Chains A and B, each alone.
Chain A
Amino acid sequence: MRYRVRHVTTYRYSDQVAVSHNLAHLAPRDEGRCRRLAWSLVVQPMPHSHRRETDAYGNQVDRFTVTDPHRTLTVSAESTIEIQPRGFLSTATPWETVVDGAPLGCEEFRYESPLVPRHPDLAAYALLDFTPGRSVLDSALGLCGRIHGEFAYDPAATTIHTPVMSVFHDRRGVCQDFAQLMLGALRSLHLPARYVSGYLETLPPPGSERLVGADASHAWVQLWCGDDLGWVDIDPTNDCIPDERHIPVAYGRDFGDVSPILGMVLGGGTADVAVSVDVQRL
């Protein structure tokens, strides 16, 4: 499947911004089933400096500084992506085997991270599905289904600062909350699991037009399922194993490692942010 993704972020400030420093994780990963055929990033006003780097997790980072005084900053990323179907996944590897051993590269995704705690309550919640000897993938899909069933999707309930444990107690949130909650539950059992930010193609209800710009950035998790399967994507928001409609951009320990744009400005007063994402099937 081929897509064109347009991701436009517009900041409007009440006061003039003197300097704006930004870190962007906006370039989809180019590996495995995903090929990045084209990519561009346009920033308005034109940045004074712009560097492209690779972060500690192998994600592409664009670091740019705007020094022209401005009240509006627009960051437009556009990519063309091709995704191969995943194929059938199955494993008999018991989850305890993954707990006992995983390659060094997985290690740092086992522990608590700034936004994802380990907690006895999360461990207890996960253990309802991670029963002794059960396959790691089956257990994880069980957990995924339970989160999907028991938690309400509610954009008004949380902000990017809502702690995982509040989401756990209030049973509502958005994709980012569910992903981080699932990470907390998996890591509380000492399983390596990481946060994936990306896009999801949304299909319009039958009979209606696809709305341009109505899509959004999305988040899900990857769980290490043993050497034979490696990292497997799991989407607790949609209770599925991502396939051709999920486009991964970056992964890290939690949202903080991969936030699409982290911007810090001098001046500016209050800011108003508008994000428009458009995933178009080619």
Chain B
Amino acid sequence: MPWDESHDGGGPRPAWRGLLRHLEQLGAADLRSRWDRGRRLLRESGPAEAGGDGRPWRLDPLPFVVPPDEWERLERGVIQRAAALDALLGDCYGPQRLLRDGLIPPAAVLANPQYLRPCRGWMPACQQRLTLYACELVRGTDGSWQVVADLAQAPPGLGLAVEHRVVISRLLPEAFRELRVQRLAPFFARLRQALAAQAPRHKDNPRIVLLTPGSASASYAEQAYLARYLGYTLAQGDDLTVRDDRVFLKTLGGLHPVDVVLRRVADDWCDPLELRNDSLLGVLGLAAAARSGHVAMANSLGSGLAESPLWLGLLPAAMRHLLGEEPKLTAQPTRWRVEPGPGQMLRPAFSYRERPLAEGEAGWDAALADRRIRPHAWVVQDPLDPSVAPCWDEAGILRRPQVLRLFALRGEHGWEVMPGGLTRGSGDAAWLEVAGTSKDAWILSRGPVADVSLLPSDGAAVELRRGGIDIPSRVADGLFWLGRYAERLEDGARLFRSALVRLADEPGGARGAVAPYLEMLARVGMPIEDDGSPPERQLSVAIGLLAPAATGLARNAGAVRDRLSADTWRAIGAIERTMAAERGDASDPAAAVERLDRLVMACAALAGMGQENTTRGPGWRFLDLGRRIERASHSLDLLLAAADHRFERSALEALLAVADSSITYRARYLATLQAHAAVDLLLTDDTNPRSVGFQTEIIAAHLAHLPHEQERALPTPAERVATRLLAAIRLADPAVLLAPGADQEPVQELLTQLADDMTALADALSTAYLIHVAPSRSLARGSL
């Protein structure tokens, strides 16, 4: 029978009595309605909602209670363990006394893939390898706690713990107060102090970034939350660059030096140059920058070595040698290089992330075979039987196995343990890494607790701010391309729709009826081969050519997920659904027009969100610049296609229809369709939001607002191109260029020049602000 956390044979345990009484008084219905509110709060609290729930585990509203005397024992044990692991790392990467004296087998370190050669013989300037440490504990059937995992490189879950606490303390405020639950905020205040103190320079105001693997990571939402809570910039590898062994954050305002990196990227992924060459998550040269001491890393590179499950068995011997102490916490019995007995499990010795295997499971025989040739790569453990605690479930209260995760920090005054934490539980008692639920851990205090919070309280006035020049270039790049792809998709959809509508007027028409449209499609990169079938069917099937634009839109939106509001994300979701919703006959023109209608509406909704719901910072400017440049290029392509048709009537009709300008034209000129008037509307008319002139005016205005190097005397290259564009458009006179009988060449030339300049403008912007950075590599190969 597993240990029951909340009850013993005679009823509720003392520490749980208060909480259980509160829950009883509250009643199931009340708790349920409070919990619904709480879940809403959780959704609103982070960017997780944007892409579905990005959390690894579901929050359980019932807290996990730890009484004061038990806590004090755990606290002492965790502190000792953190200190021992720090010393262990110091020895393994330094003098290797443990190996020399034969206290640990050489393979524990030298065969360990977590042992990073570039860190050998190097000690961080702060003389500590661990700043944060997390310990996972399970209470066995006899009621004693044992360590089951050490998280030593980038302990995940701190953000989750804060987030849980914010929600649960509002869910159960009476119980939270009365039970004297210890607060978490002071721990985070000291975490900020500790990280700032490690800064090699700018100690009074260091720049600290949280290095994240990015939005594809399962715990991205939690990392974004933690960064915001601590007030650090959330940076991906691409946001940082190393020059002269110093780390910089690439922002629109230029390169800003980074003093401390709080990392959530695993050790070997941190630097593609010296560590894993295939890593796209890291920063080129980061390992050398860390070794040089110009940047502090928490935790230091190489600390993943301490996470190997084999230390669960070997640490006591190391601890006696390094600290001269006996372990205060026992660990899950873990034996290395022994045969598994009946009922015992085999577990990879070096990585705690891999699941232990039981006899008869898939992979067991392969593990036994591998063990014969790599005996050092496996450890033997008994299956766990963790304690159970009450959990909320739609069906009522259930008892589920729990693992307690505690966090420790080494600050100015040594190690301390966060008085709280989280537990995680699942139906799978043997392996709790799988998705399940998590709880807020309540550490009860003996005395009164003081109220502290790092979150701005409702009453306090926050400092008013504008702008945000610090946005990483990668984010601006993502927004720029998001704008371009959104516009490309919308313009393409309009083009297809106009062509299909035109064909509907002329049933059974030949391709010739839509020749200008086909020319336009070819111009914008969507040529349609004539396969002999009816043209409306060819066009309907060809809608699939919009897919790359939709994919580009989704990819860039994903890359800037934490910058997009929930509504924006929903609009993007609607576009994706419309693109995916190809039901029945793809060549049915009626269905295709209906689908294009929905697509255009969804794109318009996204565009509206960008205009009406986005603050006018540099981020918005890049989003809009992308859109404007794309639209201007698109309009120029349409004009060039019409020029190829010598601005004949059918071409002019197509031009006005696609550019959504037929009504304006008719209002101005009634039915007289003349080339120069149509071209004016799309090229030079700065009151038409679809004209090239209109886009160019806005682009020039945006450029004037972008961050610049101070005290520059001359316009930037992008501004020069924009000025040239503006002048060319303002000076162009369609009436002269397209006078009856006039030579077509000058207008062709003008349009081509404008199109080239628009491309040059996009390039100049990228060079000045974005520089898309795709790492590539090359190796020389020996041969003979």
Q: Does B274 contact A (CB under 8 A)?
A: yes
Partner of A261, one of B243, B775, B779: B779
Give the residues in chain A near B323, CB-CB below 8 Å. none
Q: 1/0 per residue A168-186: CB within 8 Å of B?
A: 0000001110000000000
Partner of A108, one of B110, B245, B776: B110
Q: Quick check: A107 and B778 within 8 Å, CB to CB?
A: no
Q: Quick check: A217 and B373 within 8 Å, CB to CB?
A: no
Question: In the bound complex, what is the Cα–Cα distance between A197 and B241 (angstroms)?
Answer: 31
Q: Does B784 contact A (CB under 8 A)?
A: yes
Q: A49-B245, A107-B106, A108-B111 are in contact. Are A266 and B775 (CB under 8 A)?
A: yes
Question: In the bound complex, what is the Cα–Cα distance between A176 and B780 (angstroms)?
Answer: 12
Give the residues in chain A near B373, CB-CB below 8 Å. 118-120, 123, 188
Interface residues of A in 197-228 (CB under 8 A from B): 197, 200, 202, 215-219
Question: In the bound complex, what is the Cα–Cα distance between A263 and B779 (angstroms)?
Answer: 7
Question: In the bound complex, what is the Cα–Cα distance between A2 and B274 (angstroms)?
Answer: 33
Q: Which of A19, A155, A237, A273 has the most CB of B within 10 A?
A: A19
Q: Does B739 contact A (CB under 8 A)?
A: no
Interface residues of A in 124-180 (CB under 8 A from B): 155, 159-160, 174-176
Q: Quick check: B117 and A56 within 8 Å, CB to CB?
A: yes
Question: In the bound complex, what is the Cα–Cα distance between A216 and B782 (angstroms)?
Answer: 7
Question: In the bound complex, what is the Cα–Cα distance between A63 and B284 (angstroms)?
Answer: 12
Q: 1/0 per residue B262-277: CB within 8 Å of A?
A: 0000000000111001
Q: A56-B121, A120-B372 are in contact. Are A265 and B775 (CB under 8 A)?
A: yes
Return A54 CB to nearest CB of chain B, in Å: 9
Identity of the chain B residue whose Cβ is nearest the Cβ of A260 in the assembled complex: B780
Q: 1/0 per residue A51-82: CB within 8 Å of B?
A: 10001110000010101000000000000000
Q: Does A33 contact B (CB under 8 A)?
A: no
Partner of B784, one of A174, A255, A263: A174
Question: In the bound complex, what is the Cα–Cα distance between A155 and B782 (angstroms)?
Answer: 10
Question: In the bound complex, what is the Cα–Cα distance between A112 and B113 (angstroms)?
Answer: 9
Identity of the chain A residue whose Cβ is nearest the Cβ of B277 in the assembled complex: A262
Question: In the bound complex, what is the Cα–Cα distance between A174 and B113 (angstroms)?
Answer: 27
Give the residues in chain B near A248, CB-CB below 8 Å. none
Q: Does A9 contact B (CB under 8 A)?
A: yes
Q: Quick check: B776 and A48 within 8 Å, CB to CB?
A: no
Return A32 CB to nearest CB of chain B, in Å: 21
Give the residues in chain B near A19, CB-CB below 8 Å. 241, 284
Question: In the bound complex, what is the Cα–Cα distance between A110 and B288 (angstroms)?
Answer: 28
Partner of B781, one of A160, A267, A268: A160
Partner of A49, one of B96, B106, B244: B244
Return A36 CB to nearest CB of chain B, in Å: 19
Q: Does A251 contact B (CB under 8 A)?
A: no
Return B333 CB to nearest CB of chain A, in Å: 25
Question: In the bound complex, what is the Cα–Cα distance between A253 and B13 (angstroms)?
Answer: 57
Partner of A271, one of B106, B245, B775, B776: B776
Q: Does B773 contact A (CB under 8 A)?
A: yes
- The interface of chain A, by Cβ under 8 A from chain B, is 9, 11, 18-19, 21, 23, 48-49, 51, 55-57, 63, 65, 67, 104, 107-108, 110-112, 114, 118-120, 123, 155, 159-160, 174-176, 188, 197, 200, 202, 215-219, 237, 255-257, 259-269, 271, 273, 275
8 pairs, CB–CB < 8 Å, chain A vs chain B: A18-B771, A19-B241, A56-B120, A108-B111, A111-B111, A160-B781, A175-B784, A256-B277
Known: A256-B277, A265-B778. 14 other contacts (CB 8 A): A9-B780, A21-B285, A63-B288, A65-B285, A110-B107, A111-B111, A112-B374, A120-B369, A160-B779, A174-B783, A262-B277, A263-B779, A265-B775, A273-B778
Closest 3 CB pairs of A and B: A111-B111, A108-B110, A217-B782
